[in-house]
A and B are shown apart, each in its own frame.
Chain A
Amino acid sequence: MKLKKVIALATMSVLLISSLVGCGSKGGSYPSKNVNVIVPFGAGGNTDMSIRALLNTATEQVDDSYTFVVENKTGDGGLIGMEALANSDADGYTLGATCIDLMLHICFGRTEKTMDDFIPIAATMADPYALVVSASSPNYSTLEEFVDYAKANPGTIKVGDSGAGAAPNIAAKAFEMYFGVTFDIYTYDGSADCITAIESGEIDATFTQPSPAVASLKAGTLSMLGVLSNERLSGFPDCPTVKETFGDEYDLVMMGWVALTAPAGTPDDVVKTLNELMGKALETDEYKEQIESLGMEYMVLYGDELNTFLDEQMKFYEEVCATIEL
């Protein structure tokens, strides 16, 4: 008998709570509750910091009725988080970061998702990869010398990457292909670890975006020999691009981009709201300051321009991946 009463009371409280919980999800215009943002890489990294910078700025543009909540879902080179994003409800309350690694996963057939499963909203960064070496190397101090040395001594320069098929690895492979050289490749957990390994003398060089290397570059223990982009970086105006050093046939351009995206199927008006909100945030001085202090290149890229940019990138990586052997 007692048990029955207990069950009855428990059921009542269950119903009460479920009605309370249910309340939050209904309501008027978008957004009416907190928006979750999946970041497929760890907190404190490049992708994470740039996304957080954008979201912080965007939050200040809106009233306090909602905020953006970052969830770091890591694993399998970012694939777990990005697949979780593609599979989440397309109601605008789950957004996520996608990045160059997603394209590479797609190109190498490691996921069944395609770019069509994501609607890009705003790019938070697009930094080129750069060749970074130890500043104390006796054998080379410029890009030409590096290439000459690599040609004369095949397989001796130790280059760090962050896993077969990840962007730094593709950059190294593309460099090998363009210049007909071979590197001795070692794998680490990420660009920050590659920088540590250059500092400790375990390896000689790596291809990385500038931000993880900023401290060492400024201190002069590491030096940046060449940038894989069309134009020089505003933060490192003395460092030449590969293209300007060796001519147009060495069209070695690799950008590592990060974009805030929504899963495919998100209603158009929601995407439009987000586009406007993020576009406004991108153009603030505050965002510019945060991005530059992270050692990244400031740029404004969202909406249709971002779509065109990503289409071009996809084409480029499909070509590169087809010619590279892992």
Chain B
Amino acid sequence: MKKYNYIVSVLMMVLSGYILFETGTYEIGQSAQKNPAVWPRFLAIALIVLSVVLIIETIFSHDPEMENFSIDWKGPGMKKVYMMFGFTIGFVIVMKILGMLIALLLLIPAIEWLMGCRSRVMLIALPVGLVAFVYVFFGIIMKLTLPGPFWA
């Protein structure tokens, strides 16, 4: 965990640095109301202070939990999560081209399959049923125009 705490602290300081940089470009009036930078700067400084506190706390900590904590980035579960990230990106692309309903029709069985479902009936029934529900509930009852395919 110690390693991750240092990384987090540095990332937060970089974020604060960016905030201080961007707020420096704002046009600032005379009163607090006319000063769009005052609040973000206050937050950025607080974030820097907290990052320093986290570093100090981590250096002086003898908590065994903190020392033995590690994250397995390559475990079988994580691989499933990375695949899910891939599915999500795929979903976004398909949605842009073929619309939300069709994209969902592909995403749902993909997740089922990822979670270990091999039953063909469920791989088809669940997406069809769920998409039909979405279409009826959101599309017809709630009268939402769901994002359609690019040609419609």
A and B touch in the complex (CB under 8 A): yes
Q: Is the interface of A mostly helix, strand, loop or mixed?
A: helix
Interface residues in B75-130 (C-beta closer than 8 Å to A) = 98-99, 101-102, 105-106, 109, 118, 120, 123-124, 127-128
List of B residues within 8 angstroms of A17 by Cβ: 101-102, 105, 131, 135
Question: Could you tell me the distance between the alpha carbons of A25 and B148 in the complex, rounded to whole angstroms?
Answer: 11
When C-beta atoms are compared, the residue in chain B nearest to A36 turns out to be B145
List 15 additional A-B contacts (Cβ < 8 Å) besides A10-B105, A18-B101, A21-B101.
A5-B120, A10-B123, A13-B127, A14-B105, A17-B131, A17-B135, A21-B99, A21-B135, A21-B148, A21-B149, A22-B152, A25-B152, A36-B145, A67-B143, A186-B33
Question: Could you tell me the distance between the alpha carbons of A25 and B135 in the complex, rounded to whole angstroms?
Answer: 15
Residue picked from B99, B102, B127, most chain A C-beta under 10 Å: B102
Given contacts A18-B149, A36-B145, contact A9 B124 (CB under 8 A): yes
Question: Could you tell me the distance between the alpha carbons of A18 and B131 in the complex, rounded to whole angstroms?
Answer: 12
Chain A 7-43, CB-CB to B under 8 Å as 1, else 0, gives: 0011001100110011001000000001010000000
When C-beta atoms are compared, the residue in chain A nearest to B149 turns out to be A18
List of A residues within 8 angstroms of B143 by Cβ: 34, 67, 69
Q: Is A187 an interface residue (CB 8 A)?
A: yes
Question: Could you tell me the distance between the alpha carbons of A71 and B148 in the complex, rounded to whole angstroms?
Answer: 17
Question: Could you tell me the distance between the alpha carbons of A205 and B107 in the complex, rounded to whole angstroms?
Answer: 55
Q: Is A110 an interface residue (CB 8 A)?
A: no
Instruction: Say which size band chain A's interface belongs to.
Output: 10 to 19
Interface contact A2-B128, CB-CB below 8 Å: no
Question: Could you tell me the distance between the alpha carbons of A67 and B143 in the complex, rounded to whole angstroms?
Answer: 10
List of B residues within 8 angstroms of A36 by Cβ: 145
When C-beta atoms are compared, the residue in chain B nearest to A5 turns out to be B120
Question: Could you tell me the distance between the alpha carbons of A260 and B56 in the complex, rounded to whole angstroms?
Answer: 60
A-B residue pairs, 6 tightest by C-beta: A69-B143, A14-B102, A6-B123, A25-B152, A9-B124, A14-B105
List of A residues within 8 angstroms of B118 by Cβ: 2
Given contacts A2-B120, A187-B33, contact A10 B98 (CB under 8 A): no
Interface contact B33-A18, CB-CB below 8 Å: no
List of A residues within 8 angstroms of B105 by Cβ: 10, 13-14, 17
Given contacts A17-B101, A17-B131, A21-B99, contact A10 B109 (CB under 8 A): yes
Chain B 139-152, CB-CB to A under 8 Å as 1, else 0, gives: 00001010011001
List of A residues within 8 angstroms of B148 by Cβ: 21
List of B residues within 8 angstroms of A9 by Cβ: 120, 124
Question: Could you tell me the distance between the alpha carbons of A193 and B6 in the complex, rounded to whole angstroms?
Answer: 45
List of A residues within 8 angstroms of B102 by Cβ: 14, 17-18
Question: Could you tell me the distance between the alpha carbons of A69 and B142 in the complex, rounded to whole angstroms?
Answer: 9
Interface contact B124-A18, CB-CB below 8 Å: no
- What are 15 A-B pairs with beta-carbon distances under 8 A? A2-B118, A2-B120, A9-B124, A10-B109, A10-B127, A14-B98, A17-B131, A17-B135, A18-B98, A18-B99, A21-B101, A21-B148, A22-B152, A36-B145, A187-B33
